[in-house]
Structure 1
Amino acid sequence: MRANTALMFERASGYVFVLMWPLMGLGLVAIAMTEGGRFTTHALLVSLVCFLFVPGIVLTGAAATHYLYKQSREPFTYVFDNDGIRAVGVTYEYAHKWPAIFQVKRRAGFLMFFFAPACAHCIPLRTIPDLELQTSLIAMAAAHGADTRGT
C-alpha cells in the first residue's frame, strides 16, 4: 500500500486524482453550510465517500491483489545481473532488461527501479540494509543508462 501510494505521486495527474476527491468533499460541505447551515444525512454520506475514496481504492486494490492472486503471496527474489532485473517466484519469473529501466529513486522507504511512468520495481530499503549494496545496484542501473539523480 505504501509503494502504491508513493507511485501515485510520481505524475502530476496523480496529484490531481488524489486531491480532487477531498476537495469535492470540502466543496460539498461548504455548499451545505452556506445553504441554510443544514447538513443533511445525504450530504454527510457523499462527503464521507469523497474523503475516503482514494484510501478506499488503495486498500481495496491491495486486498484484491493479496486475496485473489495466489502468486502475489508466494515468496520471490530479485536477481540483478548484466541483463537486467528479474523477480523470480515459485511459479513465475518477471523480468525487465536494463534498457527498460529509465530511472532509479529512493522514496518512501523503497528503492524504485522505474520501467514505465509511475510503474516501478519497489524494493523495500529494509531488505537491503547494506548501503554499499544499495549503491552498487544504483551504479549498475546508471551504467546501463538509468537516471539516478533521485537517489
Structure 2
Amino acid sequence: MKILLRILLTALICTSCNSDDDGGNSAIRLELKSAASIGITNPKFTILVYGFDNSYADVAATLISTQNFESNQLPVTITLTIPPNPESMIELNTSNRNISYYINIEWDNDNNGKICNGDISIDYNTETNFINLNPLVTQEVFVSEIKALPCE
C-alpha cells in the first residue's frame, strides 16, 4: 500500500512540476521588419494591443495588452502574449463575431522622451496595423523611421 501511495504521489508531483499552465494566455508571433535600413540607437520598445467591436462607429478601442521588448536589429520576431478571452475585455462589445485587433508601436529610438523624427513607427504606407490572434501564423509588421514629425 505504501508503495502504491508513493508511486501516485511521485506521479502527481512530476506532472505538476512540468506544468506549462500560463493562466490561459495565448501568444502570437510578430516579425517586425523594414523596407529600408534603420539604425537602432535605443533597443527598448513597447507594443500595445487594442481591440474594438466593428458593430460600433466612432468608439474608442480598448487596450488589451502592453508589453515591452528589446532589439538591436531589424527584422526581429517577437512573441506577444494575449490574455485569455480578450474579447471579454472590450468595452461596448455586442458580439464576439465583429471584433478587430490592432497594434501600436512606441519606439523612442533617439531616447529623447518624445515620439518624433528619428523614432520608429508602423509603416502605414506598406500595411495596416491590424493583427490576427491566430497563434499558428507569424505576422509581418513593417516599420519605418519617422521623418515628418519634428521634435521641437
TM-score band by shorter chain is: under 0.3
Specify which structure has the bigger relative contact order, considering alpha-carbon pairs within 8 angstroms and separated by 6 or more residues.
2
Q: TM-score, normalization: structure 2?
A: 0.28
Q: Which has the higher helix share?
A: 1
